[in-house]
């Protein structure tokens, strides 16, 4: 039986975004604070997903062996290091989160059946790499607070209460929403980036956070005057808002995940043709980008 197992590891390292062929002003313009000398550091958290058949002992791999391989090939070399200098790959292509994930895959693949590398630079920024040449995924997360009422405009209060329960109460209720935006793109062979992170965060701020934060969605967002602001509909609307701005930045919107509460969340996967949620596309994409 085919099975996927996940192994967690961590390392602390510093890096700097700086291209010697650019002037100081050009580096600052392109990389902002990340260009500062001598660099900055992170506590990286690494998840390695491995696939294989279950053996007679109920294992895909001996995790003690996996731990040792990851230590030899990755963490012992990267921990407490300056990434720009530690591996030659980072002298050609900068050690961005997405590029570090790609190179870790390359280091591990000869010794382990890797199907996915996920690297967290910090809890609100991480990258996924699944072995597709220079293609990678980058996720950034952010929060906004808003109120809503779940009530269809064509139904009576009684009918809405039967469908939505307490969520249909007249004055609504609020949530601290946690939004995760995942983009897909090709890693630039020089900068190591699939998208300008500052520009991506600004687009999310402009199109979502600024208009949504501290609002009553039904009243303050025209779209939700006619559409019930369930978590699913909010996520779908956000995906439609961000699709074009992200494409203009040179990447593709891959997934929107909206966490309404610790108990409720939803995900919208975006196809190449349109932003939509479908059971088929969701299952197929979830196999490619499995959460740990």
pLDDT in tens, the chain (292 residues): 789 999 999 999 999 999 999 999 999 999 999 999 999 999 999 999 999 999 888 999 999 999 999 999 999 999 999 999 999 999 999 999 999 999 999 999 999 999 999 999 999 999 999 999 999 999 999 999 999 999 999 999 999 999 999 999 999 999 999 999 999 999 999 999 999 999 999 999 999 999 999 999 999 999 999 999 999 999 999 999 999 999 999 999 999 999 999 999 999 999 764 434 443 333 344 444 444 4
Residues near 103 by Cβ (< 8 Å), separated by ≥ 6?
87, 89, 90
* Residue 167 appears among annotated catalytic residues: yes
What is the reported pLDDT for 142?
97
1-131 fold: Tetrahydropterin Synthase; Chain A (3.30.479)
Query: Active-site residue among 214, 226, 248, 284?
Result: 214
d(CA 251, CA 35): 23
Query: Active-site residue among 121, 180, 260, 267?
Result: 260
* Residue 260 appears among annotated catalytic residues: yes
Query: Active-site residue among 89, 135, 167, 205?
Result: 167
Task: Find residue 45's DSSP bridge partners.
Answer: 10, 120
d(CA 19, CA 94): 8
Give the pair of three-digit tokens for residue 232.
């699913």
The per-residue pLDDT for range 239-278, each reduced to its tens digit, is: 999 999 999 999 999 999 999 999 999 999 997 644 344 4
Give the pair of three-digit tokens for residue 276.
């939509």
Give the pair of three-digit tokens for residue 4.
């996927």
Which residue's structure tokens are 């961005």? Answer: 96
What is the reported pLDDT for 114?
98
d(CA 7, CA 66): 8
Q: For residue 177, give the nearest of 147, 200, 198 by alpha carbon.
A: 147
Residue span(s) of the chain under CATH 3.30.479.10 come to 1-131, 132-292
Residues near 244 by Cβ (< 8 Å), separated by ≥ 6?
none
Cα-flanking dihedrals φ and ψ of residue 158, to 5°?
A: -65, -45
Residues near 150 by Cβ (< 8 Å), separated by ≥ 6?
160, 163, 164, 167, 168, 228, 229, 230
CATH of domain 132-292: 3.30.479.10
* Residue 73 appears among annotated catalytic residues: no
Please say whether the beta carbons of 79 and 46 come within 8 A. no
């Amino acid at each position: 039986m085919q099975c996927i197992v996940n192994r967690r590891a961590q390392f602390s390292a510093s890096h700097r975004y700086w291209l010697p062929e650019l002037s100081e002003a050009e580096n600052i313009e392109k990389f902002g604070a990340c260009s500062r000398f001598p660099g900055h550091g992170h506590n990286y958290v690494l998840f390695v997903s491995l696939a294989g058949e279950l053996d007679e002992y109920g294992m895909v791999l001996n995790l003690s062996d996996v731990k040792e391989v990851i230590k030899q090939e990755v963490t012992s070399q990267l921990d407490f290091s300056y990434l720009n200098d530690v591996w030659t790959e980072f002298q050609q292509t900068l050690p961005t989160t997405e590029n570090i994930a790609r190179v870790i895959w390359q280091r591990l693949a000869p010794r382990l059946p890797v199907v996915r590398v996920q690297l967290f630079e910090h809890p609100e920024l991480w990258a996924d790499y699944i072995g597709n040449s220079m293609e990678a995924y980058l996720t950034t997360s952010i929060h906004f607070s808003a109120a809503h009422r779940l009530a269809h405009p064509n139904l009576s209060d009684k009918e809405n209460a039967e469908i939505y329960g307490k969520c249909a109460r007249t004055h609504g209720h609020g949530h601290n929403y946690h939004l995760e935006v995942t983009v897909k793109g090709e890693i630039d062979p020089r900068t190591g980036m699939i998208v300008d992170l500052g520009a991506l965060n600004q687009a999310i701020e402009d199109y979502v956070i600024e208009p949504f934060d501290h609002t009553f969605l039904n009243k303050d967002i025209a779209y939700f005057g006619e559409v019930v602001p369930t978590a699913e509909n909010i996520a779908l609307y956000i995906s439609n808002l961000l699709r074009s701005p992200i494409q203009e930045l040179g990447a593709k919107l891959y997934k929107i995940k909206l966490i309404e509460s610790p108990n409720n969340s939803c995900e919208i996967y975006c196809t190449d043709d349109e932003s939509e949620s479908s059971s088929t596309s969701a299952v197929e994409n979830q196999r490619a980008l499995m959460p740990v």
